[in-house]
Amino acid sequence: MTETLLEVENLAIRFRTHGGEAAAVSDVSFRLGRGETLAMVGESGSGKSVTSLALMRLLPKAPQCTVSGSIRLRGKDGGMFDVLSLPEERMRAVRGNNLAMVFQEPMTSLNPVQTIGAQITETIRLHRPMTRRAAEDEAARLLDLVGIPSARQRLSAYPHHLSGGMRQRAMIAMALSCEPSVLIADEPTTALDVTIQAQILDLLRRLQEQTGMAVIFITHNLGVVAEIADRVMVMYAGRVVEQAAVLPLFEQPLMPYTQGLLRSVPRLDLAGRRTGALPAIRGNVPDPRYPPAGCAFHPRCDFFIGGRCDSQAPALDITPDDRQVRCLRWREIAA
């Protein structure tokens, strides 16, 4: 196992809403090693984004939102520190230096009235003592690194001058500008067409090999997960319901929810033989203000047993081959 860069334990996130308290995330624990890619998957509303925003400390403040548990990150001095107890001023330095994030839609993160060069240069100088000239050289080097052609000329381009794929590359360059040890990529390729998507995934993999950076990759798309992840964490209704290395998870998903997600991935080997739409998981993710009793997935589950799944909340079990699964019936399902 590689050196731990991030360790999350018993993370819980609650929102105060008009309809009452909502537990958006409960009891989430995971670790991330150097150079590793963890994919966080699950339907909309399962808690992926709020988990990553908690890591960045970008959630609304109490009393609207409360975060508990522990988030420990390895600093550049080699020691681990606690993210949740850091004063806001220190946290500003952590964003960028240790942890960086790229979002699905770069237009919402890039400033439309500032050139790409100015934005990257500013980010670099915020974190690293450098002259403007040296920061510009560094910005051009980063744009080149992420595969933007004629990088130096592009410094004077505005975001709207670039295509979607190029803007996403510029966002990645900006995120990389302070050499973060952990990069959070929240649906970074969803808005792009398939070819560009593949190029961006390829780019992330290459950068990771070069820098040893760890990546948390948030996605709905299990096809992408197979491409990029070492490990997968499946979230449902704010909880981890399965966690495993990518191959075993694809070969034998244990949690019925993961099985449902995998059934809804198009398969090339079945192309032409398939008729009709891909099977979707019936029903919807529960409202976090009114979670179902027992297993949160039971109203949608094909393996549901009355009197058991709707009354007993499953714990996150560790399997003999060191996977994690939250299902009362996983042993029967595995058999």
CA dist 187 → 41, 227, 256 (Å) = 10, 14, 24
Among 5, 28, 50, 175, binds ligand ATP (CB under 6 A): 50
Separation between Cα atoms, residue 10 and residue 26, nearest integer Å: 7
Shortest separation between residue 334's beta carbon and ligand ATP, angstroms: 26
- Return the number of the residue (127 or 220) whose C-beta is nearest ligand ATP: 220
Query: Which stretch in 38-46, 69-77, 116-124, 320-328 sits in contact with ligand ATP by CB under 6 A?
Result: 38-46
Site for ligand ATP in 52-81 (CB under 6 A): 60
Pairing assessment for the beta strands 4-17 and 20-33 based on DSSP bridges: antiparallel
Lateral strand order in the sheet of 37-41: 99-102, 182-186, 214-219, 37-41, 231-236, 239-245, 324-325, 317-318
Please provide the DSSP assignment of 227-257 as one string. Answer: HH-SEEEEEETTEEEEEEEHHHHHH---SHH
* Nearer of residues 42 and 159 to ligand ATP, judged by Cβ: 42
The interface region with ligand ATP, picked from 16-24, 31-39, 88-96, 240-248 by CB under 6 A, is 16-24
Q: Which is nearer to ligand ATP, 41 or 145 (CB)?
A: 41
Q: Which stretch binds ligand ATP (CB under 6 A): 39-47, 128-136, 166-174, 176-184?
A: 39-47
Q: Within 13 Å of residue 212, how many CA atoms lie on the same side as its CB?
A: 7
Q: How far is the CB of 299 from ligand ATP (least distance, A)?
A: 16
Binding ligand ATP (rule: CB under 6 A), the pick from 4, 7, 12, 22 is 22
From 8, 42, 99, 101, residue interacting with ligand ATP (rule: CB under 6 A)? 42
Decide: 255 and 43 in contact? Cβ < 8 Å. no
Q: Which is nearer to ligand ATP, 17 or 312 (CB)?
A: 17
Contact residue for ligand ATP among 2, 10, 17, 284 (CB under 6 A): 17
Give the up-direction half-sphere exposure of residue 12: CA atoms within 13 A in the CB hemisphere: 11
* Strand segments (E) across the chain: 4-17, 20-33, 37-41, 65-74, 80-82, 99-102, 182-186, 214-219, 231-236, 239-245, 317-318, 324-325
With CB under 6 A as the contact rule, which of the stretches 45-53, 130-138, 269-277, 320-328 interacts with ligand ATP?
45-53
Q: Which two tokens stand for residue 197?
A: 């998507």
Comparing CB distances to ligand ATP, the nearer of 44 and 275 is: 44
- Residue 163 contacts ligand ATP per CB under 6 A: no
Stretch that binds ligand ATP, among 14-22, 89-97, 243-251, 254-262 (CB under 6 A): 14-22
Examine residue 286 and tell whether it contacts ligand ATP (CB under 6 A): no
Cα separation, 8 vs 77, whole angstroms: 20
Q: Is 256 in the site for ligand ATP (CB under 6 A)?
A: no
Contact 112, 195 (CB under 8 A): no
DSSP 318: E
User: Nearest approach, Cβ of 260 to ligand ATP (angstroms)?
Assistant: 16
d(CA 235, CA 259): 13
Q: Does 188 bind ligand ATP (CB under 6 A)?
A: no
- Token digits of residue 129: 């003592």
Binding of residue 103 to ligand ATP (CB under 6 A): no
Specify the pairing of strand 182-186 against strand 324-325: unpaired
Classified as helix, coil or strand, 325 is: strand
Of 26, 37, 46, 189, the one binding ligand ATP by CB under 6 A? 46
Which of these segments, 40-48, 87-95, 197-205, 209-217, binds ligand ATP (CB under 6 A)? 40-48
- The residues of the shown chain that bind ligand ATP, judged by CB under 6 A, are 15, 17, 22, 24, 42, 44-50, 60, 288
